[in-house]
Amino acid sequence: MTEALPLRSVGTFIELLIGAMLSPAGFVTEAYLVVTMRNHWTSYYKWLQEGRWSWLALSRQFVCLIMKVVKQDVIHLVIDDTLTLRASKKAPRSQIHHEHGNKPNLARYVRGQCWVSLAWVIKRRKQFGLLSRICG
């Protein structure tokens, strides 16, 4: 998957990926705290916010990896978006979203961040398992 990244970004990506896999929820802040990182927090923040790499190229490499590793007739790719509510306008990419849940205790429009996840699910012994995810 690192073929989709500039060479100087590979170490940063791997550190964040391993930290996200080891942390309970997989968030970047938790990833930073779980693994002993080489750089200061702002380096990772700037790489995620302003880095010159493509989520599309990374996703293509992810799918290529799946096709090489998993020897199954059917591989389910899952793309999901989740709205995380935020109170602060300063939260990265925080904006107003329509609340589709129609819950009586929530407004029709809420401030939040939209997180998109890409995962692959394979069938093993009649069970489906979530093996990986990429959030952005």
pTM of the model: 0.54
Residue 110 — pLDDT band, cuts 50, 70, 90?
Answer: confident
Residue 1 — pLDDT band, cuts 50, 70, 90?
Answer: low
Report how far residue 24's alpha carbon sits from residue 65's, in angstroms, rounded to the nearest whole number. Answer: 24
Q: Residue 115: exposed, middle, or buried by beta-carbon count in 10 A (0-12, 13-18, 19+)?
A: middle
In this structure, the strands spanning 95-98 and 134-135 are: unpaired
